[in-house]
Amino acid sequence: MIELIHLTKRYGRLAAVDDLDLVVPAGEIFGFLGPNGAGKTTTIRVMMGILKATSGQVLLDGHDVVSAAQEAKAITGFIPDRPFIYEKLSGREFLEFVGKLHRVEGTRLNRRIAELLEQLELSAWQNELVESYSHGMKQRLVVCAALLHEPRILVVDEPMVGMDPRGARTLKDLFCALARSGTTIFLSTHSIGIAEEICHRIGIIQKGRLIACGAMDDIRRQASASAGNLEDVFLELTRTQAGTEPALE
């Protein structure tokens, strides 16, 4: 379970995340939508303990991401929007390194690496240096790395960028299967289609504030749009909210 409690992150006078309150129960895929610069990546970086919140708290399965950082990170997998991979390592060496960071070792590590490489169709490339991988292959390798330690929570920032339709399909199926097995998935995306297809609930953030949250029908109600797809609802909500109060304080 993920809990964001009155989470605020300011850059000087700009509130990138403003008093965000959110609970994502276990086994749910939560879609986190918002226009560019709305505060999605900042929220995720604070959730992963990479950025320090100005105020508020993040609990990952009850572990505070600041005061119990190691416990919180040990049960969480992270797929960043612009992932870094050591270019001079082979895919397998990279996975072994990340696995050991998460204290997965020995036969369990080898088993997990083999399973994930197979699942994400990278087995044939495992001994090649990462520098020779295409963008989509690097993305899939990062997904493998995030899932090695069988996390109870998965935080994903823009997962499908640069992926071919087959890769995107594999990933969507994988997320759904993980959620069914009890993994909580926090999925930030620009792609409304993906959110509509796989997310159980959706939150829309604008100027650091959560302007709508709930299942598709709830969101539609909040947007006063009885018909139309999520794209119409998203545009309606973000248009209504745009130009209201600025997030500057």
Partner 1 sequence: MSAVALLLSPLWLSWKNSFFRGASSWSRRLLLAVLALCFWSGTYWVIRRVLRYFETVYDLGPALAYQLLLIILLTFLSMLLFSNLVAALSTYFLARDLDLVHAAPVSADGFFFARLIQTTVNSSWMVLFFSLPIFAAYGAVFGGGWMLYFWVALILPLFLIIPAALGAVVTHLLVYFLPAKRIRDVLFFIGLIAFVVMYFLFRFSQPERLVQPEAFGNFMQFLSAMEAPSSPYLPSSWSAEILAGSLFQRQTEQGFFFALLSSYALFLPLAASWVSGAVYFDGWSKAQESRQGRRKLPWLDWLLDAATSFFPQTTRAIMIKDIKTFLRDTTQWSQLFLLLALIVVYLYNFKVLPLDRSPMPAGMLRTLVSFANLALAGFVLSAVAVRFAFPAISLEGKAFWILQSAPISLRALLWSKFWLNVVPLLALGELLVFLSNILLHVPSWMMTLSLITVCLTTLGIAAINVGVGALYPNFNYENAAEIPTSFGGAVSMILSVVFIALTVAIEAWPIYQLAMASLRPGRVLAPPVTLIAPSLLAVAILTAAVVTISLRLGINRLEKLKD
Rounded to whole angstroms, what are the CA distances from 225 to 165, 182, 229? 30, 32, 9
Contacting residue, 30, 78, 186, 234, with partner 1 by CB under 8 A:
78
Which of 21-29, 46-54, 133-141, 222-230 is the region at the interface with partner 1 (rule: CB under 8 A)?
A: 46-54
Asked if 64 touches partner 1 (CB under 8 A), the answer is no
DSSP string, 101-130: HTT--HHHHHHHHHHHHHHTT-GGGTTSBG
Place of tokens 């000087």: 12
Do 70 and 26 touch, CB atoms closer than 8 A?
Answer: no
Residue 231 CA to residue 149 CA, distance in Å, equals: 35
Binding to partner 1 by CB under 8 A, coded x per residue (else -) over 138-177, reads ----------------------------------------
Contacting residue, 6, 11, 215, 239, with partner 1 by CB under 8 A:
11
Residue 112 or 220 having the CB closest to partner 1: 112
Asked if 71 touches partner 1 (CB under 8 A), the answer is yes
Do 188 and 44 touch, CB atoms closer than 8 A?
Answer: yes
Residues binding partner 1 (CB under 8 A):
11-12, 45, 48-52, 69-71, 73-74, 76, 78, 80, 83-84, 86-90, 93-94, 97-98, 100-103, 129
